[in-house]
């Protein structure tokens, strides 16, 4: 198995595929709520009042936020995606 191969999940799909589906669902929900969803490598904080930036690199040693939320150009929150069917405090 190469490094780029996906790992099979218990339900027959790959983790990579389920991750893509989860991100698409989150993107769609954020978009429906009025957030401007953007990639971290192409951010425009002034594209709209509220921005959701995917896979935002945090300060050194803190990794990435799945989504960093901005309102009027200021960071206001972080959204961390978790696998379905699990309580966030148990992940």
Quote the pLDDT of residue 80: 87
- Is the model more confident about 11 or about 34? 34
Quote the pLDDT of residue 30: 95
| Backbone φ, ψ for residue 30 (5° rounding) | -65, -45
The dihedral region occupied by 85, where left means phi > 0, alpha psi between -120 and 50, and beta the remainder, is left
CB within 8 A of 24, min separation 6: which ones? none
Quote the pLDDT of residue 37: 95
Mean pLDDT of the region 2-15:
45
């Amino acid at each position: 198995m190469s490094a780029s191969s996906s790992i099979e999940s218990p339900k027959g799909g790959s983790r990579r595929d389920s991750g893509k589906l989860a991100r698409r669902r989150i993107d769609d929900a954020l978009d429906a709520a009025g957030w401007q969803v953007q990639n971290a490598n192409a951010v425009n904080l002034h594209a709209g009042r509220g921005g959701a930036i995917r896979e935002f690199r945090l300060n050194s040693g803190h990794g990435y936020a799945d989504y960093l939320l901005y309102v009027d150009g200021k960071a206001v929150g972080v959204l961390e995606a978790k696998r379905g069917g699990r309580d966030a405090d148990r992940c």
